Amino acid sequence: MVRCEDPLRAEVERLRTELCMREAEYDELMCQRRPEVMAEYMLAIGHLELRLYRLRCDCARLARRIDMLRAALNRGDAPDTEAIDAVLDAEFAEFEKTVRQMIGELNDALARRDMEALTPEEAREIREVYYRVVKRLHPDVNPGSGPEMLEMYTRAVEMYRRGDLVGLRIIEAALADPSSLPDSAQLLEAERDRLRDLLDKLSARIREVEASHPFDKVPLLRDPELLARRRAELEGAIADMEERRG
């Protein structure tokens, strides 16, 4: 005899599996694909954009400094260079923040270039192992898990980001069986609705990431002609700014 809870139980199991797959897809997007595309972009043209941005900031700051010095002289005051520098530091704080961010992205790209790449077989295995770890540890799939399991999940995400296949194998070997499903139809319905909501939100987040930087630059990176043209534009702009700066 088929109990009324059985189809509901099967749907919850299906939703849990789908959520695990989407969580693994999102983590692959953020921990593997995004850093790879960002590294490719920064090494191809991002370093030129950084150089041009810094030149523009330097020129804008120099022009602003000259204006402030002239204003003080026009008032008949002796320019207070320390005060002027303090004002400039405040005015250009956001620009400096962007420069630091771009430098960080370039450093990450250089570090990723020097990382030992996984073989195709290892890359496939790490995705499979990570999926199984997510199924056992992710707090959305296992809402009753304690802080120790959450810490282990955080470690697993970091290992996946670094491509640490051995570490993920160790975590998988240490895990117990997945948590069981609720017994009552009411609890199963609540779990089903919770999983559906999480899937909708996660799918929207994946679409948002795929439409944002650096994924929006993939067509440029895959077109040698467009890439060469963009590189030439940046190099020309850099030469112009360096000439203006003197």
Q: What percent of the chain has pLDDT over 90?
A: 49
pLDDT value, residue 57: 93
Tokens (6 digits) for 92: 């250009």
pLDDT band for position 2 (50/70/90)?
very low
Total-model pTM: 0.76
Q: How far is CA 184 from the centre of its chain?
A: 40
Residues 93-150: tens digit of each pLDDT:
999 999 999 999 999 888 877 777 788 899 899 999 999 898 888 888 888 778 888 8
The pLDDT of residue 64 is: 94
Determine the pLDDT at residue 125: 93
Could you give the CA distance from residue 209 to residue 106 in angstroms, rounded to a whole number? 20
According to the per-residue pLDDT averaged within each range, which of 12-26, 84-98, 175-189 is highest?
84-98
Stretch 45-57: mean pLDDT, rounded?
Answer: 94
pLDDT of residue 181: 63
Between the two ends of the chain, the Cα-to-Cα distance in Å is: 87
| pLDDT recorded at residue 101 | 93
pLDDT exceeds 80 at position 245: no
pLDDT mean over 162-180: 77
Helix H, strand E, coil C: the string for 185-219 is: HHHHHHHHHHHHHHHHHHHHHHHHHHCCCCHHHHH
d(CA 122, CA 163): 9
